[in-house]
Structure formats: C-alpha cells, structure tokens
Structure 1
Amino acid sequence: MAPFHICQFQERDRKRVLVLFSQGMEEHISATFYHTLMLPRTLLLLLGAPLALVLMSGSWLLAILCTFCLLLSLWLLARYPWRNYVDTCLRADMADITKSYLSGRGSCFWVAESGEQVAGIVGALPVKDPLLERKQLQLFHLSVSLQHRGLGIAKALVITVLQFARDQGYSEVVLITTNIQHGAVGLYQGMGFQKTGEPSKIILSLLAISRIHFMYPLSSAQGKRL
C-alpha cells in the first residue's frame, strides 16, 4: 500500500471526495440494520406478527411474506437517516467545499492522498454560537476509504484538525457522531476526546440511534501533549 500525505482540498479532488463521503455514510446502513434488528422490540415484532398470522389464518406462506415485508421495511428504515444526511450535505456544505471550508481563515478541508487516490477526508468549521464563551472548532465528515484503513489515516486527519485549531487560537475541538459508528467512537476516545452531555436520540425512535457529542480541550495539558 502506498504511503499517504495530507493536503488542503483542491477543486480537482471534488468528485473523488464526494464519492468517498457518500460511500462512507452508506457503510453505516448495514450496521444500523443489524443494530435495529437486535433490539428486543424489533425481535418481538418479527416473531410475534408472523406467529399471529399463522394462528389467525393457518397460512405459513402469509407468515413468510409478513417476515419478508418486515425485514424490507426495516432495511429501508435503516437506510433513510444516512441517505437523508448525504442528500442534505450535498445540498449544503458539500455542494461547494471551497466556499464552505476555504473562504475564511478559521475553517479548512483536508484530503489524505495515497498514490492517485483520495484515501480520507475531514473538514472543520467554527461553531457560530454567540452564547459560547469559548472559541470552538467543529470537526466534520471524517471518512477513510475501505482499502486504506488500518494505516493510521483517520488519526492523522484528526491530528491535523487539532493542530489547525491550536494554530488558529481555538480553545476546543468538538464533534458529533452516533452510537452506530463504533470505530469512530473508539478513535475519538483513544485520542483523548471527552463525551459531553447525555446521548440524544435522533431520527426515528424505532432505530434507537443516539448522537454522541465529543470535545477536545486544547487549552488543557491533555491538548498540549498531542
């Protein structure tokens, strides 16, 4: 595997960046489906509904069709939040990456390149909240292609964001991920990010997906060690 290097986004990278971003988000569909499938209420529905049909109609064919329809509905439900998120971003900040991330000093978007391929991406934007007493930078869209994982690219991209934030005078780096993204949660915790607040449910309660807020304090000794 070719070594990688991290550089600022350029317009020539746009198509490859968008493909990597979309594919990275769609990977979570299977994990969401399995997560939802293993919920007690989902298992109860998948067992109870077909059994009720058999008891009422005596038809195992109807029970099988019912199970198939329930599983299909569950897959479409698991697909919805990720496809919706991708579509929303492609109409918002990812529609014009240069304008969204490179038009000011306090924001940036980076690409990890390996050979001729875009191996990873990450962006960062200032948190615009007049009530905040601290200057925060928010990390967005960290993603690494499947064939380039295990090389330390994700960690290197996060370190790039942290160093940028320190150079720009930010006091904290914040981000939001979900309980479905186990690899990301493990990465952030291993790098010293701290969970802030209680997880909050998002999208559909049936999916039991929770937002997890992380914060990295750059002004602390912890931040200075990086």
Structure 2
Amino acid sequence: MAPYHIRKYQESDRKTAVALFCLGLEEHIPATFRHMLKLPRILLLLLGVPLTLLLATGSWFLTIMSTLILLVFLRLLAKCPWKIHEFITMRTELADISKSYSVPGSCYWVAESGGQVVGTVSALPVADPPLGKKQLQLLHLVVAAEHRGKGMAKALVRTLLQFARVEGYNEVIIETTMVQYTALLLYQAMGFQETGRSFFNIVWRILAIPKIHLMYRLPSAQEEGL
C-alpha cells in the first residue's frame, strides 16, 4: 500500500496547505539567483562596477564591498517575483480556499501521509478558453521535500487528469517557468506539451525568465472508443 493517500481539501487543511505553497515558492529563489548570475548583462554588471571602482579609487576594500553589495542586491531581486506572486495569491485565490474552489468543475486535493498533509494540487476552469474548448488549469502542485521520490507528484497529477476526464474537459493547461526544472520535467514526462512562452510581467522579463505554457490534450469519448 502506498504510504500516502489523496483526498479532497478540508478547511482544517488550510494552515498546512498554505505553508506548503509558500515553501514551494521559496525553493525557486536559489535557482532564480543562479539563473541571473549566468545572464551576460548581470555578469557585465558584476565585473564592470567593481573594476570601475578599482580603477577610480585604487581601493581593493571598496571593490570587494561593491561586489558583495551587488550580490546581496541580486539575491533580493531573485526573491522579488516569487514574493509578489505569493502576496497576490494569498490575497485572492488562497484567501478562502473553500470559496475559491466551490466553482463548478474545480477541485483542490491534498496528499496525506501519517495524518499530515504533505502535498497539494488544485484545478480551476479556464474562464475564457479558446472557442470550442473546455480547459482546466492545474495549479499549486507541491510535495514536501521529505516526501519526494515516492511518486506522489505524479499521483496528484493523475488524480487531476482523471477529474478532468470525468468533468468533460478537452485540455488541461499549466503555466510554469524554466527555473522550475523538476516540475517541468515531470509535466513533460506525463505527456504535457509546450504551447508557447510569455512573461508574467516586467520583472520576469528583466530576469529573462519566461512563463512556459503547457497543455495536456484529453481524448474525447469517440477517440477513446477507436
């Protein structure tokens, strides 16, 4: 028997579910920072400012301090988009999870192990899908670090896909980023295909981190019968 089971969200799960969401976002900050350090314009900044100070003042102390200050600034900048996302989500969709997911065709699931919520995934219908399509958006796939490697994330996604089939959806869509490497590989391995890229806002554009659009096409009843 699997060391976990998946069930629908209950209001008593709120505190743990929200904590998992916040911790999941924080995990992406180091990867964002590493990504930034590889950008040519960031490398130019890290080299150019200290070198200019060294040539202008001859002080190695100021040169080293300027490098440290730049690194601290860049680390804070890497944190910024995730904290903005957390702030907005916590004051909208996750402000009242039960209410947000009372919309017909939506659901919020948790994975429970040892009496504790250790994973989540949720789904909301797309408000304005392409003509002739009924789309479901996958959101908040998170598994606690100590429970990874047990197939829990895949099981949560499969639960959502089965729900989408039963509810008559044509497609399941996801928005992720290039720094969410593990999630991106998981989705692609499960059959999601990239359909495009864009930027959440100007901050993400500055950081050169595009939003990756993925889609899973659900076969119609007629196709499944073939």
- TM-score w.r.t. the length of structure 1 is 0.93
**Per-residue deviation, residues 196-225 of structure 1 (Å, max 9, x unmatched):** 02x21344233111100000000269x96x
Match in the other structure for 2:171: 172
1:74 equivalent to 2:74? Answer: yes
Match in the other structure for 2:192: 193
Report deviation, 1:105: 3.2
Kept in 2, the 8 Å contact 1:94–1:100? The answer is yes
Kept in 2, the 8 Å contact 1:36–1:206? The answer is no
The 2-side partners of 1:76 and 1:130 are apart by 36
Report deviation, 1:90: 0.5
Gaps of 5+ in 2: none
1:47 equivalent to 2:55? Answer: no
**Per-residue deviation, residues 5-57 of structure 1 (Å, max 9, x unmatched):** 00000011000000011000111011101110121221121111101100011
Gaps of 5+ in 1: none
Match in the other structure for 2:216: 216
Q: What amino acid maps onto 1:3 in structure 2? A: P
Q: SS of the residue aligned with 2:110?
A: strand
Q: SS of the residue aligned with 2:219?
A: coil
The 1-side partners of 2:33 and 2:140 are apart by 21
Q: What amino acid maps onto 2:84 in structure 1? A: N
State the identity as a percent.
Answer: 58
- TM-score w.r.t. the length of structure 2 is 0.93
Q: What amino acid maps onto 2:188 in structure 1? A: Q
1:140 equivalent to 2:144? Answer: no
The 2-side partners of 1:110 and 1:94 are apart by 14
The 1-side partners of 2:198 and 2:191 are apart by 21
Kept in 2, the 8 Å contact 1:137–1:165? The answer is yes
Q: SS of the residue aligned with 1:81?
A: helix
The 1:131–1:158 alpha-carbon spacing in structure 2 relative to 1, beyond 3 Å, is closer
The 2-side partners of 1:130 and 1:218 are apart by 15
Kept in 2, the 8 Å contact 1:119–1:148? The answer is yes
The 2-side partners of 1:104 and 1:6 are apart by 20
Match in the other structure for 1:18: 18
Q: What amino acid maps onto 1:139 in structure 2? A: L
**Per-residue deviation, residues 146-190 of structure 1 (Å, max 9, x unmatched):** 111101111111101100000000010001000110001100000
Kept in 1, the 8 Å contact 2:129–2:135? The answer is no
The 1:7–1:66 alpha-carbon spacing in structure 2 relative to 1, beyond 3 Å, is same
Report deviation, 1:131: 5.0
1:184 equivalent to 2:183? Answer: yes
**Per-residue deviation, residues 116-144 of structure 1 (Å, max 9, x unmatched):** 22111011000011653200000011111
Match in the other structure for 1:32: 32
The 1-side partners of 2:131 and 2:148 are apart by 36
Q: SS of the residue aligned with 1:129?
A: coil
The 2-side partners of 1:201 and 1:58 are apart by 41
Q: What amino acid maps onto 1:106 in structure 2? A: G
Backbone CA RMSD of aligned residues: 1.6
1:56 equivalent to 2:56? Answer: yes
Report deviation, 1:193: 0.4
Kept in 2, the 8 Å contact 1:6–1:110? The answer is yes
The 2-side partners of 1:164 and 1:70 are apart by 48
Aligned length: 220
